Chain A
Amino acid sequence: MNHDDPWGTTIFDGRSARRGYALNKMCYSFNEAANRARFLQDEDAYCKDYDLNDLQRAAVRNRDVLAMIDAGGNIYYLAKLAGIFGLGVQDVGAQQTGMTVEAFRAKLLAAAG
């Protein structure tokens, strides 16, 4: 989050875009199936090719979405990384809110009011 963003929210602006460029560029490459396979084969080498900084590398290693966002990741690109592990937006939402996927789904259903 940048200091003036709404609670629990990062507005992906120029600050984030600059901070996260390498990470987002790597994730953009995952549109190609061959690149997804290369990442799975040798994650370290793949991250090195894209010059991830230490924060970004640690966030990816730990599969920690909030840390990726703090390191400048944009959710649309991060979704392509999550896709490699078969994770969808509800899995990612559950992780970020510290809930089980079932509890996160129940929260969404409760929005019907």
Chain B
Amino acid sequence: MARIVGGIGTSHIPAIGLAMARNQCAEPYWKPFFEAYAPVRGWLEEVRPTVAVVIYNDHGLNFFLDKMPTFAVGAAPEYQNADEGWGLPTLAPFSGDAEFSWHLIESLAAADFDLTTCQEMRVDHGFVVPLQLLWPGPGGCPVRTIPIHVNTVQHPLPSPARCLRFGEALGRAIESWSRDERVVVLGTGGLSHQLDGQRAGFINKPFDLFCLEKIVNEPDVLARLTIRELVEHAGTQGPELIQWLMMRGTLGPGVRQMQRNYHVPISNTGSGLLLLEKAA
């Protein structure tokens, strides 16, 4: 049977990918950010996951506003990265696992989650940057991947409570898959940032630290927030926390915190890093 080996929360902003492409990781501005990933990479080498379920939001590469799914699950044998228009180098395609994807789709639909299924899906920085961060080596990403897109572009967005429940159903779906897979779930995006408007540049460190604390053992506290409250406290891009809540939901009630870091700023963003294992 498939088993969830852990969940990781991480930022996915393009500036991280650009810093890696430009070999700036050791520069003083970036060093503390990248250094925090070393123990997480060590953990990945130890547990050797075979599949990564990557929860992210598309930012206008695969989906336009003509059709905007709330939840979309990739069901392709391979996922192409592509030009997003502002200079991030295009990466090699990522392997998928269509059979596993369809099992998740069947299982989530049976749990009353309505999904868009994608047999073709171009993956943007929200998906590729975390994988690049976790597996930066020249061999690229060594695991098969399953992208799950959540709409955080066009309101109304799914509520934090709905997303936590989605994660719980996703966790049951993963662990009911008959093949022996070791699955890591990535909740990407956040934490506080605002790119647009006169309040651009808004970062809320106390709120980010509150979220990092609560998501470990009291995710329901965060699930009670509204999207509007997330925008107020964490900026227009702050609702990406719902992707972390989905990741957290897959792990069940009890978790062990293996790693936690907060660094501010990277580009316009308060950056959180969290590694959780399921409690035995």
Which residues of A are in contact with B by a Cβ distance under 8 Å? 1, 6-14, 17, 21, 24-25, 27-28, 30-33, 36, 65-66, 69, 74-80, 82-84, 88-90, 92-93, 96-97, 104, 107-109, 111-113
Determine the chain B residues whose CB is within 8 A of the CB of A17 once the complex forms: 65, 154
**6 examples of A-B residue contacts, CB within 8 angstroms:** A1-B197, A9-B198, A30-B85, A75-B236, A112-B205, A113-B205
Given contacts A97-B201, A108-B203, contact A89 B85 (CB under 8 A): no
Beta-carbon contact of B60 and A28 below 8 Å: yes
| Count of A-B residue pairs with CB < 8 Å | 125
Given contacts A6-B232, A31-B82, A83-B86, contact A12 B64 (CB under 8 A): no
User: Which of B45-53, B213-221, B264-272 lies at the binding interface?
Assistant: B264-272
> Which of B15, B195, B264 has the most chain A CB atoms closer than 10 A to its own CB?
B195
Q: Tell me, rounded to whole Å, the shortest Cβ–Cβ distance linking B61 to chain A.
A: 6
Beta-carbon contact of A89 and B268 below 8 Å: yes
B residues 69-83 touching A (CB-CB < 8 Å): 82-83
Determine the chain B residues whose CB is within 8 A of the CB of A92 once the complex forms: 195, 200
Beta-carbon contact of A74 and B153 below 8 Å: yes
Determine the chain B residues whose CB is within 8 A of the CB of A25 once the complex forms: 64-66
Q: Is residue B194 contacting chain A, with contact meaning CB distance below 8 A? A: yes
Given contacts A11-B231, A74-B154, contact A80 B60 (CB under 8 A): yes
Beta-carbon contact of A31 and B83 below 8 Å: yes
Determine the chain A residues whose CB is within 8 A of the CB of B228 once the complex forms: 11
Q: How far is B203's CA from A81's CA once the two chains are assembled, in angstroms?
A: 24
Q: How far is B129's CA from A77's CA once the two chains are assembled, in angstroms?
A: 19
Q: Tell me, rounded to whole Å, the shortest Cβ–Cβ distance linking A78 to chain B.
A: 8
Beta-carbon contact of A28 and B197 below 8 Å: no
Q: Is residue B278 contacting chain A, with contact meaning CB distance below 8 A? A: no
Q: Is residue B120 contacting chain A, with contact meaning CB distance below 8 A? A: no
Given contacts A74-B153, A97-B200, A111-B270, contact A88 B86 (CB under 8 A): yes
Beta-carbon contact of B197 and A69 below 8 Å: yes
Q: How far is B267's CA from A88's CA once the two chains are assembled, in angstroms?
A: 10
Determine the chain A residues whose CB is within 8 A of the CB of B66 once the complex forms: 25
Beta-carbon contact of A76 and B153 below 8 Å: yes
Q: How far is B202's CA from A113's CA once the two chains are assembled, in angstroms?
A: 13
B265 touches which of A28, A36, A109 (Cβ 8 Å): A109
Q: Is residue B224 contacting chain A, with contact meaning CB distance below 8 A? A: no
B196 touches which of A10, A13, A84, A104 (Cβ 8 Å): A10
Q: Is residue B138 contacting chain A, with contact meaning CB distance below 8 A? A: no
Beta-carbon contact of B268 and A96 below 8 Å: no
Beta-carbon contact of B85 and A31 below 8 Å: yes
Q: Tell me, rounded to whole Å, the shortest Cβ–Cβ distance linking A82 to chain B.
A: 7
Kindly list the 8 A-B residue pairs having the minimum CB-CB distance in the complex, ordered from nearest.
Answer: A83-B86, A8-B199, A8-B198, A80-B85, A111-B203, A75-B196, A13-B155, A93-B200
